[in-house]
């Protein structure tokens, strides 16, 4: 009997089965039939998703960079998913052409139905995922404030000899009855290093402390310490910084009283009022700690330290280990007797790490026994009768100073001590001041002077008398600075020079000085002095540094007794709007810095400053008027810095009344007969471009010859049409023109031909070897003749430029470098090579050799250069990208 089975169905079962089958088949056919439509929809959806992602990324970047917030994890996850989706869709799109080509019957069928079906299904699903992802990308907040780290590790070099003392200090700090600990000792003994090791050790041990590091330094201000504290505990916005110190103290106390904290105060010189700062005093209940470093044991008592720890010098064995590391094996092995002599030198350092480092590095280049014997004698004969730190530290540090070979370096070294403690000093700023003082001598080339300044900075850095700092700055260690001032004062004997240095001392007026007449240099940087009144008798004063004060008034008689003053630095006095008539008394002045002041006018009294060589006006944004003959009277002017200096059109018409014998810059600056000027910078300022007020007649004209002017920089002057006045600069060797939108020609040939007799026979650019032309969209011509000395020419975004004044001199051809030429597709560039026949073999040879370097460059840029000579004697380069 055969097997059989039966299926029982509801009455409408066949219809349901058929319906499901139909829907399934319908979906499958849609994957194929609607493939093109879905691909278009996917592309559009992806573009919308990418736009949403880009908008979100910009919003996140603003929050991170300007508000210092941290992006939310969910935001980053969404951005990462979008980036993955972009890659997946791109992969699909790369295959789309192939799949679409398989379709037939107007897209209703496929030559490979299974393949089209699978691909269509992926496209449909990816479209759904993209739409879902875009809906998820809506965030009320994209970033949050970063929580303050409980401990921030501080960079620390390997230490020698502090391990034992650190273990003892760490053990004492953990006693509950030690709330405030003072680490005291002479300068350079390692107090700061020990404090850094304490800070970093909190990272290695389980604890719930919030560790806060603050550098106080000698000239500390309560407000500055509070601001640093605020940053460390989360109160760092501008609004908080503007609150008075009492309200800040309440905020600091409110936060720190709810935490266990360790406050590390480095380099305090006097009692710091903790309660004024808002710092709760440590006790057994709150378990907080305060550790500070100082050079005075008396400060430990004034700070009511529970534990006072003297940081002692290294033992002989550890001193020798450190000294060997700094001197190096090469020097120690140069002669068999040097190691024994080196041990004597190391012993003379008295175990002071700073002295061991400084003298060890100074001796690293010594290779003879005579040099080492001399070092021993110098150390033995140094002064040692001063008290406290000076009795043990300064004679040792003075050895580095005595080792300076050049007498020019020494006044430059002392000069660094005029800056505040721990100040970052810009190298160029320092060199400019040295030049103003005359430390670097007289040179025809100002670049040579600056190079000498950089060499001196290098010498001081190598001797460890200066330290490298970020942003092209240097700094002088405070112990070295104290030593420098001690040397200047005569090392306890009759003073060679007399300095008055009170920087960052919160002075609101001039300090009281009994003998003004003995002072040679005064530095009052970084104070709050608002007024200079009276007539201090300073017949020997050479330097007056008043930068970064609050000056708003200087009496007319203040400078009457300063006829030897060479340097006057008023930089950063943002309330200073005028100069007194008494400025005319400074007949010896060579350096005047009015940068970043609110000076509105250079008065006629400056005409008396006939020795002035350096006039700095950069960022003097409100300078509107320069009286007639003010600049032109300064016949020895070498540096005029007007970077972002304010100008106006107020004296445009005055140019007619000056006898035509002046240089008029931006209708404001008149320079006449400045035969010593070497460096000229003119910058209208990028932010001015969008303002409604601009000069109506922006021009630069010259009627006198600037024999020493070598470098000219013109930037952001949007009314200039040409620079024909440069024919009066016969020794020009460097020209930079940047972002002058209306400039059409450098030298206007017609002006030369139709000009005055005095300019008809002038030949411009005979010494020019560097030409830099950037962002000059209207520039068409430079000069119609070749320039014989041109060695390098840089051109960027000068799309209308068709000719280069390249010399045909064979001797200079191999030296020519052409950089960054930007030309449009199939534009032609004509390079002047002289007037010769196209069929002249010698000329063709010159052309080929002349353009070898430039053609190589064009090829490296992916351009084709087709060479030829046209009938006018020009080399023709057809440039194709």
Percent of the chain with pLDDT over 90: 24
Q: Which segment, 258-267, 561-570, 720-729, is predicted with the most confidence on average?
A: 561-570
Do residues 194 and 165 make contact, with C-beta atoms less than 8 angstroms apart? Answer: yes
Q: Of the candidates 489, 496, 537, which has an alpha carbon nearest to the alpha carbon of residue 516?
A: 537
Mean pLDDT of 709-736: 83
pLDDT confidence of residue 410: 93
**pLDDT, tens digit, 9 for 90 and up, residues 47-96:** 898 899 899 999 888 887 766 677 888 888 999 998 988 888 888 888 77
Mean pLDDT of 565-585: 95
Size of the chain in residues: 881
CA distance 214 to 292: 9
Other residues' Cβ atoms within 10 Å of the Cβ of residue 87: 9
> For strand 467-469 and strand 261-268, is the pairing parallel, antiparallel, or unpaired?
unpaired
Dihedral pair phi/psi, residue 678, rounded to 5°: -110, -25
> Minimum mean pLDDT among 64-78, 122-136, 484-498, 716-730: which range?
484-498
303-340 burial code (b ≥16 CB/10 A, e <16): bebbbbbebebbeeebbbebbbebbeeebbeebeebee
pLDDT confidence of residue 676: 45
CA dihedral 413, 414, 419, 420 (to 10 degrees): 110
**pLDDT, tens digit, 9 for 90 and up, residues 649-667:** 333 233 322 323 334 333 3
Task: State how far Cα 395 lies from the chain centre.
Answer: 36
Per the listing, tokens 């030593």 go with 483
CA distance 315 to 163: 12
Other residues' Cβ atoms within 10 Å of the Cβ of residue 176: 8
The whole-chain average pLDDT of the chain stands at: 76
Mean pLDDT of 209-225: 82
Choice between 416 and 246, residue whose per-residue pLDDT is larger: 416
Q: Of the candidates 227, 291, 288, which has an alpha carbon nearest to the alpha carbon of residue 258?
A: 288
Q: Reply yes or no on whether the pLDDT at 329 is more than 60.
A: yes
CA dihedral 233, 238, 244, 246 (to 10 degrees): -20
Instruction: Work out the pLDDT band at 489, boundaries 50, 70, 90.
Output: confident
pLDDT confidence of residue 33: 74
**pLDDT, tens digit, 9 for 90 and up, residues 468-477:** 887 789 988 8
CA distance 529 to 506: 8
Q: Of the candidates 679, 615, 617, 659, which has an alpha carbon nearest to the alpha carbon of residue 642?
A: 617
Q: Residue 832: in which H helix or E strand, if any?
A: strand 828-832
Instruction: Work out the pLDDT band at 498, boundaries 50, 70, 90.
Output: confident
**pLDDT, tens digit, 9 for 90 and up, residues 26-55:** 556 677 677 778 888 888 988 898 899 899
Choice between 697 and 370, residue whose per-residue pLDDT is larger: 370
pLDDT confidence of residue 751: 62
CA distance 219 to 221: 7
pLDDT confidence of residue 592: 96
Q: Of the candidates 600, 561, 566, 601, which has an alpha carbon nearest to the alpha carbon of residue 582?
A: 561
**pLDDT, tens digit, 9 for 90 and up, residues 292-304:** 998 778 888 889 9
**pLDDT, tens digit, 9 for 90 and up, residues 812-862:** 443 455 554 444 433 334 343 333 223 334 333 333 433 443 444 444 444
CA distance 735 to 767: 11
Q: Reply yes or no on whether the pLDDT at 391 is more than 70.
A: no
Per the listing, tokens 């005075």 go with 296
CA distance 523 to 503: 7
pLDDT confidence of residue 6: 41
Instruction: Work out the pLDDT band at 810, boundaries 50, 70, 90.
Output: very low
CA distance 853 to 567: 47
pLDDT confidence of residue 834: 34
pLDDT confidence of residue 233: 80
- Structure token digits, residue 807: 């010399």
Choice between 778 and 686, residue whose per-residue pLDDT is larger: 778
DSSP string, 244-283: -HHHHHHHHHHHHTTS-EEEEEEEE-S---HHHHTPPPP-
Could you give the count of Cα atoms lying within 13 Å of 800 in the half-sphere of its Cβ?
A: 13
Choice between 645 and 335, residue whose per-residue pLDDT is larger: 335
CA distances from 169 to 150, 285, 309, 336, 389 (A): 21, 22, 8, 41, 23
Dihedral pair phi/psi, residue 291, rounded to 5°: -125, 135
- Structure token digits, residue 254: 């409110």
CA distance 256 to 263: 10
CA distance 776 to 717: 11
CA distance 834 to 873: 6
Mean pLDDT of 752-759: 52
> Minimum mean pLDDT among 95-109, 201-215, 368-382: which range?
95-109
Q: Reply yes or no on whether the pLDDT at 15 is more than 90.
A: no
CA distance 421 to 866: 63
* This prediction's pTM: 0.51
- Structure token digits, residue 221: 């201000």
């Amino acid at each position: 009997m055969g097997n059989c089975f039966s299926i029982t169905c509801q009455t409408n079962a066949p219809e349901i089965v058929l319906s499901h089958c139909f829907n399934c088949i319908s979906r499958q056919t849609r994957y194929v039939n609607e493939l093109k439509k879905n691909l278009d929809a996917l592309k559009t959806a992806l573009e919308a998703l990418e736009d949403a992602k880009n908008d979100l990324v910009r919003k996140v970047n603003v929050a991170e960079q300007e508000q210092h917030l941290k992006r939310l994890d969910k935001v980053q996850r969404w951005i990462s998913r979008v980036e993955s989706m972009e890659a997946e869709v791109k992969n699909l799109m790369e295959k789309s052409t192939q799949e679409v080509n398989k379709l037939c019957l107007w897209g209703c069928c496929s030559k490979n139905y299974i393949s089209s079906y699978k691909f269509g299904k992926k496209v449909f699903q990816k479209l759904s995922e993209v739409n879902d992802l875009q809906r998820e990308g809506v965030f009320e907040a994209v970033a949050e404030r970063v929580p303050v780290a409980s401990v921030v590790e501080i960079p620390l070099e390997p230490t020698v000899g502090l391990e034992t003392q650190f273990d003892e200090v760490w053990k004492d700090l953990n006693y509950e009855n030690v709330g405030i600990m003072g680490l005291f000792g002479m300068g350079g003994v390692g107090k700061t290093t020990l404090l850094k090791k304490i800070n970093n050790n909190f990272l290695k041990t389980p604890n719930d402390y919030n560790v806060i590091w603050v550098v106080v330094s000698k000239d500390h201000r309560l407000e500055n310490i509070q601001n640093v504290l605020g940053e460390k505990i989360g109160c760092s916005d501008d609004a908080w910084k503007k609150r008075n110190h009492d309200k800040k103290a309440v905020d600091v106390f409110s936060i720190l009283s709810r935490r266990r904290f360790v406050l590390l105060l480095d380099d305090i010189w006097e009692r710091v009022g903790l309660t004024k700062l808002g710092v709760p005093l440590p006790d057994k209940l709150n378990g907080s700690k305060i550790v500070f470093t100082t050079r005075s044991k008396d400060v430990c008592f004034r700070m009511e330290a529970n534990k006072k720890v003297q940081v002692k010098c290294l033992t002989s064995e550890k001193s020798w280990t450190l000294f060997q590391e700094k001197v190096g094996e090469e020097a120690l092995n140069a002669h068999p007797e040097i190691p024994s002599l080196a041990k004597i030198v190391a012993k003379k350092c008295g175990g002071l790490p700073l002295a061991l480092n400084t003298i060890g590095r100074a001796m690293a280049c010594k290779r003879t026994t005579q040099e080492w014997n001399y070092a021993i004698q110098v150390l033995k004969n140094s002064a040692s009768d001063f008290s406290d730190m000076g009795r043990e530290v300064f004679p040792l540090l003075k050895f580095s100073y005595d080792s300076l070979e050049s007498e020019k370096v020494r006044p430059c070294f002392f000069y660094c001590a005029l800056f505040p403690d721990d100040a970052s000093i810009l190298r160029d700023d320092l060199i400019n001041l040295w030049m103003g003082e005359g430390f670097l001598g007289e040179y025809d080339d100002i670049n040579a002077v600056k190079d000498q300044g950089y060499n001196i900075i290098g010498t001081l850095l190598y001797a460890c008398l200066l330290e490298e700092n970020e942003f092209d700055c240097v700094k002088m260690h405070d112990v070295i600075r104290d030593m420098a001032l001690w040397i200047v004062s005569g090392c306890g004997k009759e003073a060679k020079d007399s300095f008055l240095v009170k920087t960052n001392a919160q002075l609101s007026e001039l300090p009281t000085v009994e003998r003004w007449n003995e002072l040679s240099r005064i530095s009052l940087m970084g104070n709050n002095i608002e007024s200079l009144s009276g007539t201090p008798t300073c017949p020997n004063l050479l330097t007056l540094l008043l930068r970064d004060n609050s000056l708003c008034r200087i009496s007319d008689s203040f400078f009457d007794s300063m006829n030897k003053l060479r340097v006057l630095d008023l930089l950063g006095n943002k309330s200073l709007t005028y100069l007194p008539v008494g400025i005319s008394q400074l007949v010896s002045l060579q350096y005047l810095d009015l940068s970043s002041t609110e000076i509105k006018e250079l008065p006629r009294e400056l005409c008396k400053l006939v020795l002035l060589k350096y006039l700095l006006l950069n960022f003097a944004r409100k300078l509107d008027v320069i009286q007639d003959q003010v600049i032109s009277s300064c016949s020895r002017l070498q540096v005029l810095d007007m970077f972002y200096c304010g100008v106006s059109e107020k004296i445009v018409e005055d140019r007619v009344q000056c006898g035509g014998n002046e240089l008029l810059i931006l209708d404001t600056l008149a320079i006449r007969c400045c035969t010593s000027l070497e460096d000229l910078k003119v910058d209208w300022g990028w932010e001015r471009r969008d303002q409604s007020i601009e000069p109506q007649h922006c021009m630069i004209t010259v009627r006198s010859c600037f024999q020493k002017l070598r470098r000219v920089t013109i930037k952001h002057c949007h009314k200039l049409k040409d620079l024909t006045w440069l024919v009066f600069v016969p020794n020009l060797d460097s020209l930079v023109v940047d972002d002058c939108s209306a400039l059409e020609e450098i030298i206007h040939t017609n002006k030369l031909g139709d000009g005055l007799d005095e300019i008809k026979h002038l030949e411009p650019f005979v010494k020019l070897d560097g030409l830099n032309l950037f962002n000059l969209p209207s520039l068409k011509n430079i000069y119609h003749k070749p320039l014989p000395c041109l060695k390098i020419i840089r051109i960027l975004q000068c799309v209308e430029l068709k000719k280069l004044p390249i010399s045909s001199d064979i001797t200079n051809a191999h030296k020519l470098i052409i950089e960054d030429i930007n030309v449009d597709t199939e534009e032609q560039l004509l390079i002047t090579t002289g007037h010769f026949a196209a069929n002249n073999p010698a000329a063709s040879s010159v052309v080929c050799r002349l353009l070898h370097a430039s053609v190589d460059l064009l090829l490296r840029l992916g351009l084709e250069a087709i060479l030829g000579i046209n009938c006018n004697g020009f080399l023709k380069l057809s440039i194709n990208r």
